[in-house]
Structure 1
Amino acid sequence: MHESLQKAVTKVLSPLVRLLLRHGVSHAEFANWAKQAYVTEASEHFGIKGKSPTVSRMAIMTGINRKEVKRIRELPSEVGTGVSKFNRAVRVVTGWLQDQEFQNDRGKPDVLRYGDPEDSFNQLVKRYGGDVPARAMLDELKRVGTVDHQEDKVTLQHAGYVPHQSESALLDIFALSATDLLTTLEHNLHKTDQRRLQMSVAYDDVTTEGREHFRKLSAKQGMALLKVLDKSLAGFDKGTTSSVTGEGSHRIGLGVYWIEDISSQDELAAASDKEDKPT
């Protein structure tokens, strides 16, 4: 069992290690982060009868000595992960894409006016951004390259909240999306009788022409699917629709992502050409 687990986890860690190496993070620094994750997960999910485990029990479970467990548990909680800000920015952009009030005659996102409380961009943020001020939301969308702001006009640059000019925003999305996917995969391994939706389509010998065809098709169909799902789900979200009532407060959703191995033939060829060129 441990051999299979080791192979699976090593493979999962590969893209994470690439990210860490690009950012100059050493193995020792990553090991410290991993210890924090071990202690956090043990504390939050492996207690008995709803109670957090003792330091001694956590030391036994994690293999980290009691002194180190105690030190990690006393570290200040992390704040400002960007997840809340990300979620609200997504809601605003999605509302811009979906709500007819903020679209032009062709059903495309309209150029909105920003300034007075009654201006269209301000109203968009008021409707979909919760308690975030319009100025703060505009600054965030500008920071990541999602909108263009000229005088009193705001133009949507991309069909979704996809940061193009902020590495920190991209890392927020990386953390959120990777955690969501791994949480579902771990759940399906642990609770085989209550499996969550987990599907994908991939082939391993596709031509370059086929890759480009599928890239365009998947982008178009994926966006169409997410728009339908977003419209349906928003109707049950108390934070988005003020008239919604009912019990529970769940974070649920569905992710769509592109699959392509880093070792694709085109990338290998490009890397080879780069190595052959004189410097």
Structure 2
Amino acid sequence: MENILKYAIRHILKPLVRILHRKGVAVGELNEMLKQIYVEVSEDVLAAAGERPTTSRIAIATGLTRKEVAQLRQAMAVDGDAPTGSYNRGARVMTGWLADAEFLDVEGKPAHLPLHGERGSFAALVSRYSGDMPTRAMFQEMERVGAVQRDAAGQVQLMAAGYIPHSDEAEKLSILGTDVAALMNTIAHNLTTQERSQLHFQRKVSYDNLPVEALPVFKAMVARDGLDLLIKFNAYLATQDRDSNPQVEGTGCMRAGVGIYYFEEPVAAQPEDRNSNDV
């Protein structure tokens, strides 16, 4: 079990370290962040168990010295959760634009919208799907990340079929912090949950002996069918979101969603008889 866990950790950390290496984050800086996170997690676990998260208990649980723990607890923790409101709101606006009949043209495609107007406008779209975000601010943010632009007639034009901020690295790093964490939290939940009915949906399909020529077709299929599925899910969630529908009743405040991602990578050379049925 320990070897399997170490194998998993290496595979999780390697792509992350590639990003950190490119951004100039040194090992020492990452080590300090890990220490801080270990202390925070230990505090959370002890508090959830109804125990007092003392410096001594945290030191024992983390392997750090009492001095290190005391310093880490006293230090101002760096907020690792980058602002993602603009990304979440932008994604909802774009998905509504792709699915809501009021904002589609006669061919069922996202229409070019006037900036203002009570119906069929970008302002109406933003009002319906982004909560209280001002129209101008939403337009400027989506324009900044390359999601929209003005056409020759001055109307707002959708530039992509998904809210992917290709021109803004800071926004991409923000997504890294939320989307990867969401996947890992799902896996962590499923590792510790005994009741099958309480498991979170977690599925994947992949093959590891595909020709390069097969990838463009599959990639296009994922982009098309995956987006259609997300639009279907969005249609339901949009009716339940209190930012867009303040009249929705119910208790608590929950965050829920589904993520679909495409991946491809070369496979290390294998023996020629890898597909042989010989024992």
TM range (shorter): 0.7 to 0.9
CA distance in 2, matches of 1:13, 1:155: 39
Contact 2:36 2:72 in 1 (8 A): yes
Within a 5 Å distance, the mapping from 1:1-279 to structure 2 comes to 1-50=1-50, 53-74=53-74, 75-76=76-77, 78=79, 81-115=82-116, 120-149=121-150, 152-193=154-195, 194-261=198-265, 263-264=266-267
Shift of 1:13: 0.7
CA distance in 1, matches of 2:46, 2:87: 29
Structure 1 residues 157, 231: CA separation in 2 closer, same or farther (over 3 Å shift)? Answer: same
Structure 2 residue runs without a partner (length 5+): 269-279
Shift of 1:116: 6.8
Post-superposition CA distance 1:90-129 (Å, at most 9, x none): 1111111121111111111111122578781122112211
Structure 1 residues 68, 84: CA separation in 2 closer, same or farther (over 3 Å shift)? Answer: farther
Q: Is the deviation greater in 92-101 or in 113-122?
A: 113-122
Shift of 1:192: 3.7
Shift of 1:34: 1.3
Q: Normalised by the size of structure 1, how large is the TM-score? A: 0.86
Structure 1 residues 212, 48: CA separation in 2 closer, same or farther (over 3 Å shift)? Answer: closer
Shift of 1:80: 7.0
CA distance in 1, matches of 2:191, 2:134: 42
| Residues matched between the structures, number | 264
1:113 aligned counterpart, secondary structure: coil
Structure 1 residues 88, 70: CA separation in 2 closer, same or farther (over 3 Å shift)? Answer: farther
CA RMSD across the alignment:
2.3
Contact 2:82 2:177 in 1 (8 A): no
Q: Is the deviation greater in 96-105 or in 176-185?
A: 96-105
CA distance in 2, matches of 1:134, 1:71: 45
Which residue is equivalent to 1:269? none
Structure 1 residue runs without a partner (length 5+): 266-279
**Which AA in structure 1 matches 2:5?**
L
Contact 1:93 1:160 in 2 (8 A): yes
Which residue is equivalent to 1:277? none
1:148 aligned counterpart, secondary structure: strand
1:112 aligned counterpart, secondary structure: coil
